[in-house]
Amino acid sequence: MAREITSQRKTINTVAAWAIGLLIFFPILWTILTSFKTEAVAIADPPVFLFFDWTLENYSIVQERSNYGRFLWNSILIAVGSTILGLLVAVPAAWSMAFVPSVRTKDILLWMLSTKMLPAVGVLYPIYLLFIQLGLLDSVLGLTIVLMLINLPIIVWMLYSYFKEIPVDILEAARMDGATLKEEILYVLTPMAIPGIASTVLLNIILAWNEAFWTLNLTAAQAAPLTAFIASYSSPEGLFYAKLSAASTMAIAPILIMGWFSQKQLVRGLTFGAVK
Amino acid sequence: MGSITLKKVTKSFGSVDVIHPLDLTIDDGEFVVFVGPSGCGKSTLLRLIAGLEDVTSGHIEINGKDATDIPPAKRGLAMVFQSYALYPHMTVRKNIAFPLKMARLPKSEVDSKVEDAARILNLTDYLDRRPGQLSGGQRQRVAIGRSIVREPDAFLFDEPLSNLDAALRGNMRLEIAELHQSLKTTMIYVTHDQVEAMTLANKIVVLQNGVIEQVGSPLELYSNPANIFVAGFIGSPRMNLISGKRAHEHKAETIGIRPEHMSIVKGGKASKSKWQGTVGISEHLGSDTFIRVETDDLGAIVVRAPGDVGLKFGDKVTMTPDLSHLHRFDEAGLAIK
Amino acid sequence: MATQNSRSAARFMLAPAVVLLLGWMLVPLTMTLWFSFRKYLPLRGGDMGWVGFDNYVRFVSSSSFWPSIQTTLIIVGSVLIITVILGILLALLLDQPMWGQGVVRILVIAPFFVMPTVSALVWKNMFMDPVNGLFAHLWKFFGLTPIEWLSQASLPSLVMIVSWQWLPFATLILLTAIQSLNSEQLEAAEMDGAAVVSRFFHIILPHLARAITIVVLIQTIFLLSVFAEIFVTTGGAFGSKTLSYLIFQRVLESQNIGLGSAGGIYAVILANIIAIMLMRVVGKNLDA
């Protein structure tokens, strides 16, 4: 738009947007601030914002009480593992649907997405039984598989929409140039789709990281990720705001940091590849 | 080696027949152009030869061997796409080297072939750039480079110049013609532009609705079109096609006369072999002037006149067709010999 | 591009995804269906045989059933409405020229990164606690009596928490869509004399139709299975029990697998009805 924007307009926009942005961000900011307070300051009335004696003791108490490292490690294993497994299954499937479409392609895609609507709670007990049978209960492997399955439709859908943007010509050129199907996918399609794959991976890691039904119901001591770590603070420790805040900050920090470092891909990913 | 034979080839997409049973022989070293309006099946035909589509029935032979079920990679053909289809994530060097890498050639050989191709195509300075940093003409050259390093039995070109501007298109046309001169490899070239077809081909295949209308050298098609479609499609400006009473005078359903096969004078009288009309819009090209003459009984007729012809809008004129260049067609639109 | 070769390769490569999802769907669902016709109390006698449709009848006639359906629809519906409307407004604002757009965008997206258990806990304790929560402080500051959010207004509270989590997503998709709007179109409308409001309704809103569809589709998928937010805040008390949560209680808390399974089948049916409705709309609006 080649139009002069008055700086007054721009100022108003800026003030309004920042105000709303900060309002939306406030709960997170408040949590982070509170994590550095003592319990007494945390519940002070009127609330204290910035001017208090900053302390790290909450973090060490939380760490002492529950081994944060192990939960974190489980979260990383499950999120990254389910994403890699998902990609291995989804890339070929998305290739098929994007480049060799048939009359049923759209139905298959919608069907896949609709499996995500099945209420997890409806199959909780059968899965529970199967997991006991297979010895997967409270195991990182079991959770990885489940999270891969529940996010698979999203991964396929996203990759499909990114692959659709790649001109078929280029894949055909590769075929004419003597590339086998494997080489075509490995050397031509995948490198071209890197931004899309990166977005898919980021979104999927977030979804897996934050998944809080299966992770709460299929784990106990061994495989529990950060969602379970934090759920253990629901009561009565929830009343200790500073410790709750420290634990919360520890649970969300990895994803927040990852998100901020990869903003561009993430924004693309957050639109589920559906809007350009 | 690069002869291709199509035997009774057909192609249908669902219930739509895109190519009707079709036979065609392409000899080694020929420059064959498939030409026709959009949707005539010319690109599909090329893709069938390439192996990017399966034939519905019939056989394709390459160098005398049945290649119908051979995948595209193994047919020994190279293709230049309309969109160039360069690999955007690879440098020019890697683009050109890709087919060689797929063929698992040793690195030293790959390097020297890429250097050679780059030299021929004036791409040496651009080898380390990516396709996104090149102009349209340069991308086109990279696409050609990628196909020549394979030393294929035949080159397939799918409307390669249609994304270039007019000036560049002329240059590239010349370069492709020179390439054919120096390589002497079979080339099959698809275009909707009959000028490209006329200037490049040894042999033109005119297609319409999945059927071959005529095969022949450019001059053959120009001088002896087999039917009205070819007559109207080949040549620019188009042949004047006249039907009705004036055609019956020449014992034909339709007659055709090219703009250059008429003389035109101011004034004059009408007769059986002299047509009268009024000058409409003229296109002055410098060397020639194409005059559109509005007539009462023939419709609008385009005549080629010398560049300095002194006729202007509204002049009454008389045109005299050169009867030895008059084309006559019957009810079915076929030429009467 | 479709040769016999590539088509069979395509089938081969699509197969794992289809088989996995089909298995993931069918195996447990069949088991649920089986249990739903049995009296099955693992802690009180185990599998006590075939009971026909007893579980189905009991589940529906339970006093919690219809309220739970209502709660589910209220949560999904309210969150959708709130996030779409606020999302459009916020997207329009963020599309305006301003300083620090990138930073504001990060601030707005941030809630999406927060895991549901964390956001539920933070909201519940630090904001909605009637004694020490920030809202309580705020209310007292204005001389009002603090509200006991999660017991007196449990549904609005849940809707608020969940909306906060999903507003970033809606905003981002809608913002992306607005940015893809051809500015010439808007300028042409301006030349034609369309006022700001009519430009919004006649050009921007129709342009957003596809994006809104996607927001609704994807959010519905996730909202139908809202779990942790309820688990952590009210535990299903004070009328905040969704159908999912009700089933969860039957299965896990009262260990009545048969009854819970029948409920599960109802939930599947409900999800299917919603899915079919959505897919109709989406199929039309989404040229996949």
Q: What is the dihedral of CA C140, C144, C145, C148, to 10 degrees?
A: -80
Asked if A152's CB is within 8 angstroms of C21's CB, the reply is: yes
Asked if B52's CB is within 8 angstroms of C1's CB, the reply is: yes
Tell me, what's the pLDDT at A4?
61
DSSP-derived letter for residue A223 is: S
Q: What is the pLDDT of residues C206-248, one digit of tens each?
A: 888 888 888 888 888 888 888 888 888 887 778 778 888 888 8
- From the CA of A37, how many Å to the nearest CA of chain C? 13
Q: Which two tokens stand for residue A89?
A: 């299954």
Q: Cβ(B201)–Cβ(B32) under 8 Å?
A: yes
User: Is residue C285's pLDDT more than 70?
Assistant: no
> CA C23 to CA A149: how far, in whole Å?
10
Asked if C3's CB is within 8 angstroms of B53's CB, the reply is: yes
> CA A73 to CA A144: how far, in whole Å?
13
Averaged pLDDT, C101-129: 87
Tell me, what's the pLDDT at B114?
93
Asked if A106's CB is within 8 angstroms of C13's CB, the reply is: no
Interface of B with C in 29-68 (CB under 8 A): 51-54
pTM of the model: 0.84
Q: Which residues contact A38 (CB under 8 A, 6 or more apart)?
A: A52, A53, A55, A57, A242
Check residues A48 and A61 and name the one with the higher pLDDT: A61
- From the CA of C11, how many Å to the nearest CA of chain B? 17
In a domain, B194, yes or no: yes
User: Is residue A3's pLDDT more than 80?
Assistant: no
Closest CA to B207 of B223, B220, B190: B190
In a domain, B277, yes or no: yes
Q: Give how many domains chain A has, as a whole number.
A: 1
> CA A75 to CA A92: how far, in whole Å?
27
Tell me, what's the pLDDT at C286?
58
CA distances to A119, B29, B153 from B1, rounded to whole Å, are: 64, 8, 6
Tell me, what's the pLDDT at C96?
85
Q: What is the pLDDT of residues B195-204, one digit of tens each?
A: 899 999 999 9
Give CA A47 to chain center in angstroms: 32
Q: Which two tokens stand for residue B230?
A: 């070819």
Tell me, what's the pLDDT at C274?
83
- Residue B180 sits in the same domain as residue B274: no
User: Is residue C287's pLDDT more than 70?
Assistant: no
What is the pLDDT of chain A when averaged over all its residues?
85
> CA A181 to CA A192: how far, in whole Å?
15
Q: Give how many domains chain B has, as a whole number.
A: 2
Before A153, cis peptide (omega within 30)?
no
* Type and span of the H or E element at C217: helix C205-223
Asked if B85's CB is within 8 angstroms of A173's CB, the reply is: yes
Q: Cβ(A127)–Cβ(C34) under 8 Å?
A: no
User: Is residue C88's pLDDT more than 90?
Assistant: yes
Q: Give the chain B residue nearest A193 (alpha carbons).
A: B89
Check residues C194 and B50 and name the one with the higher pLDDT: B50
Query: In terms of residue numbers, what domain contains A118?
Result: 66-270
- Residue B185 sits in the same domain as residue B265: no
Q: Which of B217, B232, B247 is the last residue of a domain?
A: B232
User: Is residue A112's pLDDT more than 50?
Assistant: yes
Asked if A90's CB is within 8 angstroms of C227's CB, the reply is: no
- Which residue spans within chain B are E strands per DSSP? 4-13, 16-26, 31-35, 57-62, 65-66, 77-80, 154-158, 186-191, 203-208, 211-216, 240-243, 254-257, 262-266, 275-284, 288-294, 300-306, 316-321, 327-329
Q: Which of B43, B49, B52 to mutate to test the interface with A (most CBs of A within 10 A)?
A: B52
Per-domain residue ranges of chain C:
65-240
In a domain, A13, yes or no: no
User: Is residue A64's pLDDT more than 60?
Assistant: yes
The sign of the torsion formed by the CA atoms of B86, B90, B94, B98 equals negative
- Percent of chain C clearing pLDDT 90 (strictly above): 14
Asked if B71's CB is within 8 angstroms of C5's CB, the reply is: yes
Sheet holding B327-329, edge to edge: B240-243, B254-257, B327-329
Asked if C2's CB is within 8 angstroms of B53's CB, the reply is: yes
Tell me, what's the pLDDT at C232?
83
Alpha helices of B193-249 — where are they, by DSSP H?
194-200, 218-223, 228-233, 245-248
Give the helix, strand, coil percentages of chain A, each rounded to 5.
75, 0, 25
Asked if A170's CB is within 8 angstroms of B73's CB, the reply is: no
3-state helix/strand/coil string of C31-79: HHHHHHCEEEECCCCEEEEECCCHHHHHHHHCCCHHHHHHHHHHHHHHH
- CATH no. for residue B320? 2.40.50.140
User: Is residue B220's pLDDT more than 90?
Assistant: yes
Tell whether A152 is within 8 A of chain C (Cβ): yes
CATH number of C65-240: 1.10.3720.10
Tell whether C103 is within 8 A of chain B (Cβ): no
- CATH no. for residue B31? 3.40.50.300
Q: Which two tokens stand for residue A247?
A: 């634990």
CA distances to B91, B242, B276, B278, B306 from B295, rounded to whole Å, are: 60, 11, 6, 6, 21
The model's confidence at residue B214, banded by pLDDT at 50, 70 and 90, is very high
Chain B residues with CB inside 8 Å of C5's CB? 71
What is the pLDDT of chain C when averaged over all its residues?
84
User: Is residue B225's pLDDT more than 90?
Assistant: yes
Closest CA to C27 of A154, A129, A78, A108: A129
In a domain, B252, yes or no: no
Interface of C with A in 77-116 (CB under 8 A): 90, 93-94, 96-116
Chain A residues with CB inside 8 Å of C24's CB? 115, 149
Q: Among A208-212, B227-231, B249-253, C142-146, whose mean pLDDT is lowest?
A: C142-146
> CA B47 to CA C6: how far, in whole Å?
14
User: Is residue C1's pLDDT more than 80?
Assistant: no
| CB environment C135-173: b (16+ within 10 A), e (fewer) | bbbeeeeeeeebbbbbeeebbebbbbbbbbbbbbbbbbb
User: Is residue C288's pLDDT more than 60?
Assistant: no
Q: Which two tokens stand for residue B255?
A: 């007659």
Tell me, what's the pLDDT at A230?
84
DSSP-derived letter for residue A51 is: -
- Residue B24 sits in the same domain as residue B130: yes
Three-class secondary structure of residue B292 per DSSP: strand
Q: Cβ(B146)–Cβ(B91) under 8 Å?
A: no
The model's confidence at residue A2, banded by pLDDT at 50, 70 and 90, is very low
- From the CA of B176, how many Å to the nearest CA of chain C? 26
The sign of the torsion formed by the CA atoms of A254, A259, A260, A262 equals positive
Asked if A183's CB is within 8 angstroms of B52's CB, the reply is: no
- Residue B213 sits in the same domain as residue B298: no
Q: How is C131-175 classified by DSSP, letter by letter?
A: TTSHHHHHHHHTTPPPP-HHHHSHHHHHHHHHHHHHHHHHHHHHH
User: Is residue A271's pLDDT more than 80?
Assistant: no
User: Is residue C40's pLDDT more than 90?
Assistant: no
Averaged pLDDT, B171-194: 91
Check residues B236 and C194 and name the one with the higher pLDDT: B236
Averaged pLDDT, A115-131: 85
- Residue B228 sits in the same domain as residue B263: no
Q: Which of B11, B44, B54, B57 to mutate to test the interface with C (most CBs of C within 10 A)?
A: B54
User: Is residue B210's pLDDT more than 80?
Assistant: yes
- CATH no. for residue A247? 1.10.3720.10
**Residue C237 identity (one-letter amino acid):** A
Query: In terms of residue numbers, what domain contains B166?
Result: 4-232
Residue B82 burial class via C-beta count within 10 angstroms: exposed 0-12, middle 13-18, buried 19 and up: middle
- Residue B106 sits in the same domain as residue B222: yes
Chain A residues with CB inside 8 Å of C167's CB? 24
